[in-house]
Structure formats: structure tokens, C-alpha cells
Structure 1
């Protein structure tokens, strides 16, 4: 697998290169958005690690421009810690977001999740089977530990949207648009209520979640 690092700080690039090459990734680097776009076009990486604070273009704009023509997984690695920055990046098309300083093990795990998500996106599964939860997408049936789970159409759509993006953070706006339509992206109370009902039916304790993880202030992630 090939990883493109777009980061203007040389020390961080060298650290990332050492971390990734130790895990047998092929690494290419760029210090600016312009160079990153060139490397993205010429080297065709499998995943991109992106800093938002680039000298020639804000990383948020870079994400949106890339998403106009490419679905390459993008993992943001940034010093910006505000929820608004995370939401903007994820809504703009980033697959995940880590803040600096970061643990290399967590970064590697997020990269693997992004790659798995991209690989699953190339085929349409007929079933989902994870951690005792089974979904037959053709029959629209759900089982938990072998027992039928009866979901409303909204609960089912919410669950399948989360599972089809397993491991990826989905913002409130992304989930509202996918489940209720593009005119409902400000109705966060819909999402909160139906997520609570779905968790109850899946016996999923929010304090020790088995399936649905909360990203405070941002959205939800289905456990991968």
C-alpha cells in the first residue's frame, strides 16, 4: 500500500515516514498542497495523510477540491482541535481526523480502517455480520445474537448507513442527509432520539458501546 504524506513540517514528515515504512507502507511526501496534488495525480496513493495548515492552501479547501474527482481515503492529521474544524473536514470528505500530538499506533489503526472502508466500497455486500449483529440487506432483516430485531424504517436506514461506513466518523449532518434527506441537516434532535432507540433495541450501552460509538459534538462511528 502507498501512503501520501502532505505535511509542511519536515520533522513530522520524517517521523511519519519512519513509522509507516516500518509497517511496510510505500511512502511519498509533499510539503505543499500544490505538490500534494501533483503526487496524488502521478503516484496514485492508496491513502493520504493530510495536515490542514499548509503554506499555500488551507487543507479544508484541498479536501473539497480532491473530492470533486477522487475518493482516495484522506486521514487528517492536524494541530487544530476545535470541533468546528473536525466537522468541516469530515463533511468536506475526509475519512478520519486525528489531532497532534498523536499516538503512532492510533494513526496506523485509522489508516487501516480507511483502507478497509475503501476496499469495501468497491463491492456491494449482501450481508453485514459483526460482533453478533447480522444484517441481511436484501431481505432487510436484522438479528442480534441469533434473535430477530424489529426496527422501524428510520432505525434500519440509520443502522445500515453506519455499518456501510464502518469505522468511519459520520457527522450529524452526513447522517441526517443520508437518512432524512438533504433538507434535514439541522434537525439534530431527530438523530439523537432515533440513535437512542436503536441503541436500546441493539442492547448497546452508550457508556460501554458494542456497536455505535459517539464522537462528542461531531457524530457517530460504527465499531469496526
Structure 2
């Protein structure tokens, strides 16, 4: 048996089809058609990944995403018919890891789920390590600490942070980051990476005017992380 997946989708035909395809691949699948059903399931179960629609009968999937981002460390893949740029950015800023818009190819959905889970396992490979005198990483629990303070990174932000750290000051393009962190190559837009970079930058500031860690961006070269304080 593979990982467990929670599908939150109000359209019964889509829900049944996705469930059938995932079970055929060996996943254990839980389903919910409303926010209330999803919340009830999450009281007693801890899925490895959530596939979440935005428009649900009793509210927005963004609400559930924010709740999970604050209390759990579960990757969230949005599957939505809303293709507006602003809505996609909102879903990522709410804590989503990636998104697919309807209509979609089921093979693409399966590949995205597999990539998310594979990368999650790869980043759990090691225990606590000290990167600098003040920066420590707990790869097993996917947490980062600066001077003992938890940076409160979600799993995708942690993997993005770790990838930038391991680049050893080399610039990485958005496409390269997507390939390394999300586990897939893409020729699509790179809003997913840009939004996660923005969220990561905000958390690295630690509420200070001068951040001890900064993410530098140069057009045509990409991103790199700089630790400006090692005291």
C-alpha cells in the first residue's frame, strides 16, 4: 500500500474518477465533498497529501489550506477550475504547494502527486544539522531554526530553503528550482516558485528590518540565498 491521499472535491464524477485512478495506483484514498467532511476526517486521520478544490459548497478550500498550513505539515495540491492569476496566487500564499487547473490530464495529476510525495521523502533523509553558528536544520521533521527560533516553514518552503542553501551561492533559475523542489520539469508559468520565494523571504526576515538571511534575485540568473549574520 502506498501513501494515503485525501481528495476534497464537490463534483461527484470527478471525485469518483480520481479516487478510482489513485486506488489503481495503490494509494489509500479518503474523500470529502465539503469542508465540514474534510475537517471531520482530519480529526482522526493524517493523510500524506491533500488534493483540494477551491470552490466548495460550504466555503473556500483556501480556508482549509490555511488551517492545515498552521497546524500540520501536509503537502497540498490545488485542483481547481479557477484559472485566474490572482486566485492561483491566493491559493499558493494560503499554503498550497502546487496547483492544477481543470480540465486536466489524469496522468499529469498522478505525476504531480508522485513527485510531491517522492520529494517529501527525500528531504526527510537526515537528522538535525548545524549550517552556521545560528542556523540549524531538522530534516526529519522539515524544520529550520535561527538562534533557536522556529522559522515556521511549511514543507515546501523548507525544501526550497534547503535547496537554495545547498546551491553554495550559485544562482538557481525558477525552472531549476521547480525541477529540484517540486520534482518535475515544466515549461509552464513559474508563479508557483515566485509565490513560495515571496513567502520564504517574509519568514526569513524574523520580524526585523535587517534580515540575517536574504534571497537575492538577478534577472537572467535566478535566485540564491545569503546568510548575512553569523554571529
Q: TM-score range by the shorter chain?
A: 0.5 to 0.7
Q: Is the 8 A contact 1:90 1:171 kept in 2?
A: no
Question: What residue number does 2:75 align with?
Answer: 73
Q: CA deviation at 1:93?
A: 1.0
Partner of 1:197: 221
Q: Is the 8 A contact 2:65 2:96 kept in 1?
A: yes
Number of aligned residues: 172
Q: TM-score, normalised to structure 2's length?
A: 0.62
Q: Is the 8 A contact 1:158 1:179 kept in 2?
A: no
Q: How far 1:86 moved relative to its partner?
A: 1.1
1:75–1:94 contact (8 Å) kept in structure 2:
yes
What are the residue-to-residue correspondences of 1:91-106 with 2, within 5 Å? 91-106=93-108
> What is the alpha-carbon distance in structure 2 between the residues aligned to residue 158 and residue 104 of structure 1?
25
SS at the partner of 1:66? helix
Deviation at 1:40, TM superposition (A): 2.3
Q: Which residue of 2 aligns with 1:204?
A: none
* Structure 1 residues 12-161: aligned runs within 5 Å: 12-124=14-126, 141=168, 151=170, 155=171
Question: How far did 1:163 drift?
Answer: 7.1
Task: Find out whether 1:175 has 2:197 as its counterpart.
Answer: yes
Unmatched 5+ residue regions in structure 1?
127-134, 142-149, 185-189, 200-224
Q: For the structure 1 residues 9 and 172, does the alpha-carbon distance in structure 2 shift closer, same or farther, using more than 3 Å as the test?
A: same
Instruction: List 4+ stretches of structure 1 deviating above 4 A.
Output: 135-138, 156-164, 179-184
Q: State the distance in 2 between where 1:17 and 1:158 align.
A: 32
Shift of 1:95: 1.2
What SS class does the counterpart of residue 165 from structure 1 fall into?
A: helix
- Shift of the 55–124 alpha-carbon distance from structure 1 to 2, 3 Å rule, reads same
Secondary structure (helix, strand or coil) at the match of 1:81 reads: coil
User: How far apart are the structure 1 equivalents of 2:122 and 2:79?
Assistant: 23
Inter-partner Cα distance in structure 1 for 2:173 and 2:102: 34
- CA shift digits 1:99-136 (9 cap, x unpaired): 1111000000100111123223424599xxxxxxxx99
Please report how far the alpha carbon of residue 176 of structure 1 lies from its aligned counterpart in structure 2 after TM superposition: 4.0
Q: TM-score, with normalisation over the residues of structure 1?
A: 0.64
In 2, Cα distance between equivalents of 1:173 and 1:75: 15
Distance 1:3 1:177, change over 3 A: closer
Whether contact under 8 Å (1:7, 1:54) holds in the other structure is yes
